[in-house]
Structures are given as structure tokens and as C-alpha cells.
Amino acid sequence: MEVTRVKRAFKYRFYPTDAQAADLSRTFGCVRKVYNLALAARSEAWILRQERVNYNATSAMLTAWKKTEELAYLNEVSSVPLQQVLRHLQTAFTNFFAKRAKYPRFKSRKKSRKSAEYTTSAFRFRDGKLTLAKMTEPLAIVWSRPLPEGAAPSTVTVSQDAAGRWFVSLLCEGPGLKPLPATDAVVGVDAGLDHLLTLSTGEKITNPRYERRDRARLAKAQRELARKTKGDGANRTKARRKVARIHARIADRRRDTLHKITTRLVRENQTIVIEDLAVRNLLKNGRLARAISDAAWSEFRSMLEYKAQWYGREVIAVDRWFPSTKLCSNCGTLQNTMPLSVRTWTCGSCGVTHDRDVNAARNNLAAGLAVSACGAGVRPQRRTPGGQSATKQEPLQREP
């Protein structure tokens, strides 16, 4: 089977020296400054003169900015990350005019992501050592997994999260992963809050609720932060970093669990059928938003889809309006109502007793296989006939 070449990013943690940390922090600040200046210039040109400013024009502006006394410090860092952020701004405007995204926003010093992107002309990668422009020593990277044999990074992105951890992401082009051997196994999946996932095989995967586990610690840390005097004081910075570490711990554990679940599903099944949930709309429910965010259904689907593409599997999303819960998976009889309090029910036509979630997963599987056989895709559902946002066809269980 032919293996195609793909681009994959490999992310590692590293520990910079004090000099490297200072240089990178300075680079982050310059990147943010150039982005905001270019965004202001493009916005002003459009509002006052109805003129569109492209990347080439902002690149010329950057050259002029460096020559001014006020912005002369931009010369202290590598020019490549500054040029790259202008390209990112161009992409943001392209997506905006194509109605794929909102209007670009200014980057905040405290809230925006700290990152800088280097292309091949701004770094040296030899013998497993990465040295960035303007630096004399390589980064102390923890190589938690090897790069593909013969792969050389084309782009390097350095970032620092809110918890103060440093990461480097290397974009490499190389042979794609070999597809897994084909299998006849198929599975339907129903997402929930009581159980994170219910499979058509009858298996239920427990919802770990990592955010709820650390909620008391998080609340205490947030109260301590709220009592600190606002500003850039050391005590407030220390308290803010403590809150960020708790959030990072929650996100890391959740991501690790989702990776294990999705990898297992992709390895064991040729076809995986899921429900096309409108998670963004579901988050508007104030009582359930926290629990839905903790379940991370969107991240689960994203992982499942790209891993299936890597390994030659198929993921089918069933229309969100399909009545999977109220439909008998044995005889196909549609029930008139199905209150959320009913967790098991008996079909009046065939007499089969169903577990609510297992029945929904089996119906999703049957519907997905029918879609696959007909060669049809998921019917886009952005708005209901009445113009309201589409959501899941049934209410969700309230978080206990």
C-alpha cells in the first residue's frame, strides 16, 4: 500500500537558560507589537480610505518601523518571527473576508498566547540539537519521542503557556503512517455526561470529570488570586501562575485520556459512527456548559477524525436530528416521548428492553452504515427551519 508524505508537528518541552528565556520573552513582545501595529494600520486604511493593505505593504511598514527611534528595539530580535506574524495576520484577514472567521483582534500582553515561529533560515538543527537565531547555545529539549527517521523540521514554533512551561513544536514532512490492517469491526458511539461514551457493543466508558475533581483546589487558588492587589506584583504573578498550573493539569489529564480512547477505537474498528453534535450551541446552556466543556466532545471528535485518516479508518457522523434515543433498535418503532429520567425502557411493539444510551449507540451505528452504503455524507445542520440554532434533539442530563 502506497504511503503518502504528510506534514506532522512534534511538540516537546524544553528548559531554557535565563538568557534564552529573556531573549524569547523579548521576541514574544516584539511579535505581539508588530501584529498590533499592522492590524491597526490595516484597520485604519480600510476605515478612512476604503483601502485594503496586503502582506507586502505591512512588510514594508515593518522595515520603516525598525528605522524609527521609538521601535528600534525590534532590531534586537530575529526578523523571521516578525515576518511570520505578518503572514498570520494576512491569513486572518483572508479568512475574515471569506466569512470563515471573525475580524482579527488585537493581542493582549497578559491574555494572548506567547509564541514565535521560525522558518529554516532562522534556526539550525544538527545532530538532534536545535539552535535558534540570535542564540549561541541549543535549546535543552526533552526528546520524549524521536522524530521520524530522516525528517528535518521546516518550521519551529516556540511557545510558553500560562503555567510558565516552555514548548517547541517542530513541523516535519515525511512518510505518513502505514494504514492498519483492514477489519470487519464497526462500532457506534453515543456521547453523554453520565458516561463519557457509550458503545454499541454495550460498553460504557466512564466520564473522569477531571475539572470537577480539582474544582475545590481551583476555587481556592482563584480566591487567593482575587485577594491579590491588581497589577504586576510578584505575589499576584505567583498566584496567577498557580491557577494556570491547575488548569494545565486538568487539560493534560483530559487530553491524555482522550488520546487513549480514540487510539483504541481506531485500532479496533474499521468504521466508527458518531453523532454530529452542535457543541457550541450546547455550551449556551448555563447549567451544563461546565460539564460539557469538561467532557470535551469536540476534541474527542477531532482526535478521532485525524487518527482515522492516518490509519485508513472511516468516521461517519450521523445527522444530529436523527432520533436515536426514541427509536427501537430492534424493530424500528419510534416512541412518542422519551423523558430524560427514563434510563431503561421497553418497546411496546417487540417487547425488548433497552438501555437508553446503548440503544442510541446502536441506532447511530445502523444509521451510519446506511449512510456509508448510500455514499452520502452528513447533511449540514447550521440552522433549523425556523432560523434557530441547531442543537441536540434531546435535553442532556443535568450534572450531578
Is 357 labeled as catalytic in the residue annotation? yes
Residue type at position 30: C
Phi, psi of 342 (to 5 degrees): -85, 110
Q: Inter-axis angle of helices 79-97 and 18-49, to 10 degrees?
A: 40
Contact (Cβ atoms closer than 8 angstroms) between residue 333 and residue 349: yes
What is the C-alpha to C-alpha distance for residues 65 and 357, in angstroms, rounded to an integer? 60
Q: How far is CA 344 from CA 332, 339, 352, 355, in A?
A: 17, 11, 11, 5
Catalytic site residue from 211, 276, 294, 357: 357
Catalytic site residue from 211, 275, 276, 294: 275
H-assigned helices in the chain: 18-49, 55-66, 79-97, 210-213, 215-227, 234-268, 279-282, 289-295, 297-311, 356-374
Catalytic site residue from 190, 211, 276, 294: 190
Is 214 labeled as catalytic in the residue annotation? no
- Cell numbers for 275: 453523532
Contact (Cβ atoms closer than 8 angstroms) between residue 173 and residue 151: yes
Which residues, including other chains, have CB under 8 Å from residue 290's CB and lie 6 or more apart?
211, 399
Q: Is 213 exposed, middle or buried (0-12, 13-18, 19+ CB in 10 A)?
A: middle
Buried/exposed 106-137: b ≥16 CB within 10 Å, e otherwise: ebeeeeeebbbbbbeebbeeeeeebebbebee
Is 299 labeled as catalytic in the residue annotation? no
Rounded to an integer, what is the distance from CA 334 to the centroid of its chain?
Answer: 36
- Cell numbers for 237: 504573578
Q: Is 231 exposed, middle or buried (0-12, 13-18, 19+ CB in 10 A)?
A: exposed
Catalytic residues, which ones?
Answer: 190, 275, 357
